[in-house]
């Protein structure tokens, strides 16, 4: 099973709402990632969790709050978003080699299409 | 700072043609390079992964090559089909946590 599952597939939220995106994988991967992709642009890294600890935050605004409750689950909590935050949010996972190198294949979910109104 | 460039930005070919997509990167200190396919509004499907020590990888009608020293990779698609129409993204892994840096993609259209 090489599947990364993201829910919901589509989300429309107002600027005062609080919502969460969910990502799940059962491949035993110990790194999970959030990427943001605007229309006609490539994905850009937001956060990396390595062994359930936040290891990279690419200077993302605090209205985006990631959480990694366990090694299979990754959440992205959203609060007070702006219309320009509308995008496709992609989750990915990967796993280090026995030597501890992060050079293995990354697997992506189908994304959550977020629209902020 | 690593930069990834893909040429061409868009490509339209008749069915059955063989084609080449190009990817270049500025910093040769990478662990691997991965090619993805993305259909409109969808997630990324991994096509091929090439480790930095490898020269090429093949999967079906797809062949990807890597020249790390010159910072280049190519994706060769043989006997293209309308179902190959999608955006193809090249991504390099040079970070300490396996994070990827993407090119802007090549949008491929294969006409019946």
| pLDDT tens-digit map of A102-116 | 888 999 999 999 999
Q: How confident is the model at residue A1 (pLDDT cuts 50, 70, 90)?
A: low
How far is A7 from chain B, CA to nearest CA, in Å? 12
Round to whole Å and give the CA distance between A37 and B90. Answer: 15
pLDDT tens sequence across A3-19: 999 999 999 999 999 99
- Rg of chain B in Å (alpha carbons): 13
Find the residue in A nearest to B51 (Cα): A103
Q: How confident is the model at residue B50 (pLDDT cuts 50, 70, 90)?
A: very high
Find the residue in A nearest to B48 (Cα): A105
How far is B39 from chain A, CA to nearest CA, in Å? 10
Q: Could you tell me what percent of chain B has a pLDDT over 70?
A: 100
pLDDT tens sequence across B51-72: 999 999 999 999 999 999 999 9
Inform me whether the pLDDT recorded for B75 exceeds 70.
yes
User: What residues have CB less than 8 Å from B17, skipping those under 6 apart?
Assistant: B79, B80, B110
Q: How confident is the model at residue A2 (pLDDT cuts 50, 70, 90)?
A: low
Burial B5-28 (b: 16+ CB within 10 A, else e): ebeeeebebeeeeebebebbbeee
Q: Where are the beta strands (DSSP E) in chain B?
A: 4-7, 10-14, 19-25, 32-38, 44-51, 56-59, 62-67, 72-77, 86-93, 100-102, 106-111
Cβ-based interface (< 8 Å): residues of B facing A:
31-32, 34, 36, 41-46, 49, 51-52, 89, 91, 93, 95-105
In this complex, which of A43, A48, A109 lies closest to B97 when CB atoms are compared?
A: A48
Q: Which residues of B touch A105 (CB under 8 A)?
A: 34, 46, 49
Q: Where are the beta strands (DSSP E) in chain A?
A: 4-7, 10-13, 18-25, 31-37, 44-50, 53-57, 64-70, 73-79, 87-94, 107-108, 112-116
Question: What pLDDT does residue A99 have?
Answer: 77
Which of B54, B42, A107, B13 is closest to B21 using CA atoms? B13
CB contact under 8 Å between A108 and B46, yes or no, is: yes
Tell me the three state secondary structure of residue B22.
strand
Mean pLDDT of chain A: 94
In this complex, which of B36, B97, B105 lies closest to A50 when CB atoms are compared?
A: B97
Round to whole Å and give the CA distance between A84 and B32. Answer: 32
CB contact under 8 Å between A111 and B89, yes or no, is: no
């Amino acid at each position: 099973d090489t599947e990364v599952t993201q829910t919901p597939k589509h989300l429309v939220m107002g600027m005062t709402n609080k919502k969460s995106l969910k990502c799940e994988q059962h491949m035993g991967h110990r790194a999970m990632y959030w990427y943001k992709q605007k229309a006609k642009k490539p994905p850009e890294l937001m956060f990396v969790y390595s062994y359930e600890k936040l290891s990279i935050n690419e200077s993302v605004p605090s209205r985006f709050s990631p959480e990694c409750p366990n090694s299979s689950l990754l959440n992205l909590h959203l609060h007070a978003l702006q219309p320009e935050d509308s995008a496709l949010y992609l989750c990915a996972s990967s796993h280090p080699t026995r030597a501890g190198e992060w050079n293995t294949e990354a697997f992506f979910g189908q994304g959550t299409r977020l629209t902020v109104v | 700072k690593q930069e990834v460039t893909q040429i061409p930005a868009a490509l339209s070919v008749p069915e059955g043609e063989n084609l080449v997509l190009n990817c270049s990167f500025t910093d040769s200190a990478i662990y691997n390079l991965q090619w993805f396919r993305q259909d409109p509004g969808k997630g990324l499907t991994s096509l091929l992964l090439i480790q930095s020590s490898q020269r090429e990888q093949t999967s079906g009608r797809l062949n990807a090559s890597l020249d790390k020293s010159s910072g280049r990779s190519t994706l060769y698609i043989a006997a293209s089909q309308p179902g190959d129409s999608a955006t193809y993204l090249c991504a390099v892994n040079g970070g300490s946590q396996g994070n990827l840096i993407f090119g802007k993609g090549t949008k491929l259209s294969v006409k019946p």
